[in-house]
Structure 1
Amino acid sequence: MLSNTAEVSLSKFMTKLLRHTPEQYGLILDPEDGSCRLDDLLSVIVSTPRWSEVTVGDIRQVVAGCDKQRLEIIDDRIKARYGHSHTKITYGPGTPPAILFHGTHSGVLSVILEEGLQSMERQYVHLSEGTHFASLAGSRRGKLILLTVDTIRAGQMGVTFYNAGNKVWLAGHIPPSCLKVYTP
């Protein structure tokens, strides 16, 4: 069993492999859903000296213990649910709840309210059904600001939403007229 520190560190490494630089490590992801065989991921991980003792059980522990539920194991395959920066992963369109949340920080609020939400270095804007995940994402860089997204209005303006699982939704640009600062 991994310590909390090791679990967090391995989680970051797995996220890097499955979301950002699989090719750098020789990991081949399915172009449709971004998944790979669990055994293939394990082979890459254990080839790194720091992680030479990792087991499939350790990988399962990381996936189960991640607050943000970034990763998912189905049968013998593992994938990142969202956040990819390497190749565009295909998601089916879906109908989200009327309101979704996005976490950001005070330093960029004025730009967002003027220009809307943009995916920046990622493929999609990340949204959540509740404030918990939005708070985790938004509090990394400064004073947390939560925004609500009016998905009905956004849909009427041509925004398509994609369900990434675990109450996480993805979208392209969200116009500023669909955003409000959340006040509980």
Structure 2
Amino acid sequence: MDAKKIRKRSKFLSLVLRHQPDLINIKLEKEGWTDSSILLEKINDYRKGEQFTFQELEYIVENNDKKRFGFNADKTKIRANQGHSANVEMNYQPITPPSVLYHGTATKNIKSILENGILKRNRQYVHLSADLETAQKVGARHGKSYIFKIETFKMKEAGIKFYCSENGVWLTDFISKKYLNEK
């Protein structure tokens, strides 16, 4: 498959399944699911002339390096695994995190984070990585990367809940500056 075409379609899927389902007039169920065939129909109506096939959708779900999407058991429904700004309830269950997690950000955000902690902003959760390499990649998306080391053990002791999405992204509601260490 054409890598450029697949990347473009994956980004569009992220947009409609995480942030703007109304762009193509689809509805997300309470837990973020939408009908796979209706999704394709609406995408194809929106992008007239360029057909998005079920085989391409399967390929994206199975091969996306960040595992952003998932099907239900019979592939009749699809959803984004995390990162929503759209109003969905993923029903993550609290889980004990590793003793250390990382947050990658751009250097332009350091001052604000040191003053205010890490905010979820327009997303439902703050996103954390279990490894430095992933945090580095996340931070580099918006400029020179900077990594914060998160003291999750202290947060857990304070009663703060953590969740882990299906694709291994760690999630929490907020990280106070007192739990941050500069890597």
TM-score (norm: length of structure 1): 0.90
Deviations 1:43-69 (A, max 9, x none): 122212356421111011112232222
Is 1:144–2:145 an aligned residue pair? yes
Deviations 1:89-127 (A, max 9, x none): 232221111111111011111221222111012111001
* Structure whose residues are more often strand by fraction: 1
> What does 1:53-92 align with in structure 2 at a 5 Å threshold?
53-75=51-73, 76=75, 77-89=77-89, 90-92=91-93
Is 1:4–2:8 an aligned residue pair? no
> What does 1:41-60 align with in structure 2 at a 5 Å threshold?
41-49=39-47, 52-60=50-58
Cα separation, 2, equivalents of 1:109 and 1:179: 11
SS in 2 for 1:109: helix
Cα separation, 2, equivalents of 1:93 and 1:37: 28
Name the structure 2 match of 1:166.
167
Cα separation, 1, equivalents of 2:153 and 2:116: 19
Residues 140 and 174 of structure 1: is their aligned pair in 2 closer, same or farther, counting only changes over 3 Å?
same
Name the structure 1 match of 2:26.
27
Residues 6 and 88 of structure 1: is their aligned pair in 2 closer, same or farther, counting only changes over 3 Å?
same
Percent of pairs identical after alignment?
32
SS in 2 for 1:47: helix
Contact persistence 1:154–1:175 (CA under 8 A): no
Gaps of 5+ in 2: none
SS in 1 for 2:67: coil
Cα separation, 2, equivalents of 1:13 and 1:181: 34
Gaps of 5+ in 1: none
TM-score (norm: length of structure 2): 0.90
Task: Say how many residue pairs are matched.
Answer: 180
Cα RMSD for the two superposed structures: 1.6
Contact persistence 2:103–2:127 (CA under 8 A): yes
